[in-house]
Amino acid sequence: MSFISHSTVPASTSLAQLQAHVVRQTPTPDGWLIYDFRGLNPHAASVLGLGSSFLTRRYFVWIPSQGRPVLLHHRIEGGTWTKLLAGQEVDFRPYSAHSELDELLHNLVAGRTVAMEYSPQGAVPYVSRVDGGTLERVRAAGANVVSSADLLQAFQVWSEDDLVAHLRAVDVLMTAKDRAFEYLHQALKHGEPATEYAAQQIIEDYITEQGMVSGHPANVSFGANAADPHYEPSATDSARLQPGQCVLIDLWAQEKGRPFADVTWVGYAGEPSAEYMYAFEAVAKARDTALALLQNTSAQIAGQIPPAEITQGWQVDRAARQIIDAAGLGEYFTHRLGHSLGVQIHGAAVNLDDLETHDTRTLLPGLAVTIEPGVYVPGRYGIRSEINVLLQRGEAILTTPVQSKPFVLGGEAFGRD
């Protein structure tokens, strides 16, 4: 397997390395104009490796596809920037007055195509971090502004160590969910009370025992509660499992500083109803269709098959959504198909989304996503099946087990997938 880089940007990231990313873009912009004012664009400090540096004035860093990088900075912060960019090839161009800044911008970007943290119509909010007034200013300086969305994705790819740590987290989650379902099964079988909160605590305790963190407790929901995709049981608000109810368990964990694993499995108290199984099969088919498309797309990247149309996140969502629509359940699939997966559970790279947003970012090698179609019928039941996939050159790596049928809980035999 070939890996590109680490999922986080080290402080030593150089302007020359950023320039190499610009050159690799297709089509290649004239340059990347990285702008920030007091953290409004968090991507700026991240890609520049600035950490928590104390900067109080707006700045622009120009990373050209050809030539020497340029920093536009306020004069009072010249000393700070000299330290931050020590040893790097860069031209320092200070300003004090806003009129000076406008002149410097004009000289830098006039007539050029400039990538910035901007998304047309705010379509991808993870990227849209440059305020509207600054976009107006840069355009007034003569620039054609395009999105830096795919440039930013280069800093979300996984390393080999990331994958290994992620797989350890997957193993922990598989055991944790098995323990929770076993608890529910035994309680039903012996007529004992079983609650959402108790199952949740079994999961959280095991994650902690294994030296991992979740950041937020797992979602364990029964019956109608499962129709709320972000339901949260608590010690004071927790349902007791009844025969004939569905069970949905969404759980996640990571080794600190490494990518999350994030999965959802389902079960049923007793034999699942025909209605429930019909919906489960539609969800599973949508999941498997999306996985096949990602595997096909990854092969295209390696040049193994002729290019096809599936290259962007929204297209995978649409294809999977059509499966659930065809089953007559489309109105109950109320969220995107999947999200970027990284050191943050909802990462900043491409999502599989043509519902909440129209995500036109490219599915690039080294990025990871979840696939998690769902059907949520208010007052009755909810189903979701979630898997994790890492894109690579020539292959899409399925990093989690895939549920083929719901757990059947409370009978003589524990119905396991």
Whole-number pLDDT of residue 33:
98
pLDDT in tens, 87-125: 999 999 999 999 999 999 999 999 999 999 999 988 888
Query: Could you tell me the CA-to-CA distances from 84 to 6, 54, 87, 104 in Å, in that order?
Result: 22, 11, 9, 21
Checking if the pLDDT of 9 tops 70, the result is no
Q: How confident is the model at residue 308 (pLDDT cuts 50, 70, 90)?
A: low
Q: Helix (H, G, I), strand (E, B), or coil: what is residue 365? A: coil
Percent of the chain residues topping a pLDDT of 90: 83
Whole-number pLDDT of residue 416:
57
Q: What strand order describes the sheet that includes 387-392?
A: 368-371, 387-392, 395-398
Whole-number pLDDT of residue 51:
84
The token pair at 360 is 């036109």
Round to the nearest angstrom and report the end-to-end CA distance of the chain. 29
Q: Which domains does the chain have, with CATH numbers?
A: 15-153 (3.40.350.10), 160-409 (3.90.230.10)
- ∠ at Cα 176 (175, 178), nearest 5°? 65
Q: Give the 3-state DSSP-derived string for 227-275, with helices as H, strands as E and coil as C.
A: HCCCCCCCCCCCCECCCCCEEEEEEEEECCCCCCEEEEEEEEECCCCHH
Omega of the bond prior to 27 within 30 degrees of 0, cis? Answer: yes
pLDDT in tens, 135-180: 999 999 999 999 999 899 988 899 999 999 999 999 999 999 999 9
Whole-number pLDDT of residue 303:
58
Which residues fall within 8 angstroms of residue 361, CB to CB, at 6 or more apart?
124, 127, 149, 150, 153, 312, 313, 349, 350, 351
Q: Helix (H, G, I), strand (E, B), or coil: what is residue 374? A: strand
Average per-residue pLDDT for the chain: 92
Q: Which long-range contacts (CB under 8 A, 24 or more apart) does 83-90 make?
A: 84/48, 84/50, 84/53, 85/15, 88/14, 88/15, 88/16, 89/15, 89/16, 90/15
Whole-number pLDDT of residue 278:
98
